[in-house]
Structure 1
Amino acid sequence: MEYGLIYSKYDPAGVGIVNVLKELTRVTPVNVRGFERAFIAEELNAIILEVDTDITECEFVGDLVDVKYYVMISKHTSSQGIKSFTTHHVGIPIHDLNLTRNINSFPHSNPPLAKKFLLNLIKFRDELKLNDFVVSYEVTHHGPYTLRKPTTFIELGSSSSEWGLKKAQEVIAYVVKDSLSSDLSCIPTVGVGGNHYASMFTSRALSSGECFGHIIPNYVIKYFRDDVEVLSRLTNYAITYSVVSTSRVVMDSKVPSIVKKLVREVCSKLGLEVID
């Protein structure tokens, strides 16, 4: 199978979305060691897997199933309670940024797939008339941290009211079904700076050929502002750990000048275009 579609049995959004997805495409139950429930979706060239843990902690799946790409179908939680459909990549432990000093890689990003998610989230949100839901990227954050295949989250937020909303679950199910069966040509891009919901990079992706992989936000940059070694490593990881070769790095205007200089130096060594 090309795709591993992962959801947690404890996640009402993930369970609901997968139930809708199983209504949209034919699935066949299978036994897979280490998983309570698993289904083959031939039309999607995918295996759907239920994990008995928080989806951000399922580091073990890479040892149990052989696929090219992971798609994590999940709820999104926000204290602001904003209705949202989001997509993002993984690798920065924002719950304790000091742990970032110890990481030595990111799981690979999948910029074309994340952009397909972004475009289709808008398409199906509008078709199902859920226009009060915001669609955006999120920056690189949380785990799983050790998966060796490209890992992309698609999330429904941001409270239990939205997680259980059938029409919102349908949006993401339609998006997954459509996105896995289509191709997209784009400019693989890394983002540096901006807020958690990557508003600038979302806007750029929707209005240009850019597709964003890893995005390092301003709050991470601020935390490590005086640690050139960590910032240099994170920039290199963001650029290097992508399923497609990064072509461009875009920086938010509020990135400190000392960090902009560091990013330019990294990009110069790698021969990448920089936009700031």
Structure 2
Amino acid sequence: MIGIVVSRADRASSHIGEHLRDLTDWTTEEDETRAESDGGGTVFRTTGFELREFDALHLEIDGIAEAFDDPDLVVFASKHAGDTGRFLTAHHTGNFGPAEFGGGANAFAEAAPNVHTRVVRVLTEHAPANYDVGMECTHHGPTDVGRPSLFVELGSSEEEWNDPAGARAVAKAILDLDGTDPHRERQVVGFGGGHYVPRFERVVRETDWAVGHVGADWALDAMGAAENHEKVIERAFERSGATRAVVEGTKPELRSVVEDLGYRVVSETWLRETTGVPLAFVAHAEDELGTVDDGLRFGEPARTDGDGVGGAVLERLPSELVAEAEGIDREGAHAVVERHALGFDTHESGTRLADRVLLARADDRDSIVEGFADLLEGKYASVERHDGELVARETAFDPAAAREAGVPEGPEFGALADGEAVTVDGRTIPPEAVHAEHVRRFARRE
């Protein structure tokens, strides 16, 4: 069940609450065990939700989960204030440093990263055409909620707080959270960047990783030197349910503290590349081929075969054949490897293929070689497939033969190279007279 917090002191919150009650059928009952100002009085219930109203601003209320009937998640329907125009947003709560706006210093509410990802997507679905949708860093209280929680907000000024279309969009998004687990297997903590977090928004929109607490640069500055605040950093991981972090910017001291605490700093590229790949296989592939940042990439079988990738076979591709196939069609060569390999090594920031691959079966190596042979046919006149090698033949213009035939260098060379006959001193030189067959042999194995 999701507990929805509406604050009477917050016009946007009250407005969202009005639309929540209008969008679905609620039952009501009177709770006389709590003051009306503290979530008592009229309580609204519908399948999957319980809505209570409070007099205080959200960030001033501690232990709010106790007001509800054993919620799995607490959602604060709230206003967003800032110079951001028509804006729908969501964020977790906590303080990396002093508690200037509610909650405890160096403390965090339990994040709900999976819900956060879901709410960004449904806010985008329901947002009126003139509204933007985004994410914010972790900021302000409360930090003592009692359950996983997040703020879902309507912004950014009084005009929007009173806008029925904006309020209704937020209300619809909250109702769309029914049945969403607070956590998922893949969650990271974010460090760095500004108050609004486009990098981490890309992560939740474009990968299967969710983001818990985010310490913006200003929050980290308020916290102080990372090496003096290990407990705060560790708490951000614990309250996010994460073991990995993405750090925007260099921040060597912070990175060192994260690693010393037993967590891992990964890149946005790492999150993108591991999307859909079982994490057990990611670890195995990194042991065999190096990290994603070193050039490891994953193929389609790693994403489609699920957990059935445990028996991966490490193989080497013939390097000369790899280079030739890439030279003819780089995208095509990568597509061949991605189609058949569980994982593969690259260099030059993932733009060039290396020769090591992880395969589900050794036979898949032959499929890659055959795919490369198909690419060779785009350059060579013929490609003969033999057990031990590929024999590629092409007929090309031979400058030496042209000179021997008395053809001067210049336009005549170009014409002959293009397959056109030329006339020299009254003699016709056909192109086939100055073309020669070239044969290249590519081993199937090194």
User: Partners in 2 of 1:153 and 1:138 — Cα distance?
Assistant: 10
> Is the CA contact (8 Å cut-off) linking 1:88 and 1:114 kept in structure 2?
yes
Aligned length: 261
- Report the alpha carbon displacement of residue 23 of structure 1 after superposing the two structures with TM: 1.3
Aligned to 1:22: 21
> Is the CA contact (8 Å cut-off) linking 1:193 and 1:217 kept in structure 2?
yes
Q: Give the number of the structure whose alpha-carbon radius of gyration is greater.
A: 2
Aligned to 1:177: 175
Letter in 2 for 1:172: V
- Report the alpha carbon displacement of residue 225 of structure 1 after superposing the two structures with TM: 4.2
Aligned to 1:260: 255
Letter in 1 for 2:89: T
Aligned to 2:109: 107
CA offsets 1:177-212 (integer angstroms, 9 cap, x no match)? 112245696621111111111111012211111111
CA offsets 1:36-90 (integer angstroms, 9 cap, x no match)? 54433322x2210100101111114234333221100000111x14221111111
> Is the CA contact (8 Å cut-off) linking 1:105 and 1:241 kept in structure 2?
no
Task: Indicate which of 221, 234, 237 corresponds to 1:236.
Answer: 234
**Compared with structure 1, are the counterparts of its residues 36 and 93 closer, same or farther at alpha carbon in structure 2 (3 Å cutoff)?**
farther
CA offsets 1:240-275 (integer angstroms, 9 cap, x no match)? 013xx32431111x2422222222322xx24x4533
**Compared with structure 1, are the counterparts of its residues 179 and 99 closer, same or farther at alpha carbon in structure 2 (3 Å cutoff)?**
closer
Letter in 1 for 2:79: K
User: Partners in 1 of 2:7 and 2:109 — Cα distance?
Assistant: 19
Aligned to 1:249: 245
**Compared with structure 1, are the counterparts of its residues 185 and 236 closer, same or farther at alpha carbon in structure 2 (3 Å cutoff)?**
closer
User: Partners in 1 of 2:4 and 2:78 — Cα distance?
Assistant: 10
> Is the CA contact (8 Å cut-off) linking 1:204 and 1:210 kept in structure 2?
yes
Aligned to 1:49: 52
CA offsets 1:121-171 (integer angstroms, 9 cap, x no match)? 11111xxxx233221111111111212211110000110000000000111
**Compared with structure 1, are the counterparts of its residues 96 and 42 closer, same or farther at alpha carbon in structure 2 (3 Å cutoff)?**
closer
Aligned positions of 1:28-47 closer than 5 A = 28-32=27-31, 33-34=34-35, 35-43=39-47, 45-47=48-50
Letter in 2 for 1:176: I
User: Partners in 2 of 1:98 and 1:41 — Cα distance?
Assistant: 30
For the residue of structure 1 that corresponds to 2:147, the secondary structure is: coil
Letter in 1 for 2:267: I
Aligned to 2:142: 144
User: Partners in 1 of 2:243 and 2:164 — Cα distance?
Assistant: 39
User: Which runs of 5 or more residues in structure 2 are unaligned?
Assistant: 269-446
> Is the CA contact (8 Å cut-off) linking 1:156 and 1:163 kept in structure 2?
yes
Letter in 1 for 2:117: K
> Is the CA contact (8 Å cut-off) linking 2:192 and 2:217 kept in structure 1?
yes
Task: Indicate which of 139, 159, 162 corresponds to 1:161.
Answer: 159
> Is the CA contact (8 Å cut-off) linking 2:28 and 2:45 kept in structure 1?
no
| TM-score, normalising length: structure 1 | 0.85
For the residue of structure 2 that corresponds to 1:145, the secondary structure is: coil
> Is the CA contact (8 Å cut-off) linking 1:38 and 1:47 kept in structure 2?
no
Aligned Cα RMSD in Å?
2.5
For the residue of structure 2 that corresponds to 1:179, the secondary structure is: coil
> Is the CA contact (8 Å cut-off) linking 1:88 and 1:137 kept in structure 2?
yes
User: Partners in 2 of 1:169 and 1:143 — Cα distance?
Assistant: 22
User: Partners in 2 of 1:61 and 1:177 — Cα distance?
Assistant: 20
Letter in 1 for 2:244: R
| TM-score, normalising length: structure 2 | 0.54
Aligned positions of 1:195-210 closer than 5 A = 195-210=194-209
Identity of aligned residues (%): 23
> Is the CA contact (8 Å cut-off) linking 2:96 and 2:107 kept in structure 1?
no
User: Partners in 1 of 2:14 and 2:113 — Cα distance?
Assistant: 25
Aligned to 1:275: 267
Aligned to 1:89: 92
The answer to whether the aligner puts 1:7 opposite 2:9 as a matched pair is no
Aligned positions of 1:96-135 closer than 5 A = 103=105, 105-125=107-127, 130-135=128-133
User: Which runs of 5 or more residues in structure 1 are unaligned?
Assistant: none
User: Partners in 2 of 1:255 and 1:148 — Cα distance?
Assistant: 35
User: Partners in 2 of 1:93 and 1:273 — Cα distance?
Assistant: 18
- Report the alpha carbon displacement of residue 24 of structure 1 after superposing the two structures with TM: 1.3
For the residue of structure 2 that corresponds to 1:212, the secondary structure is: strand
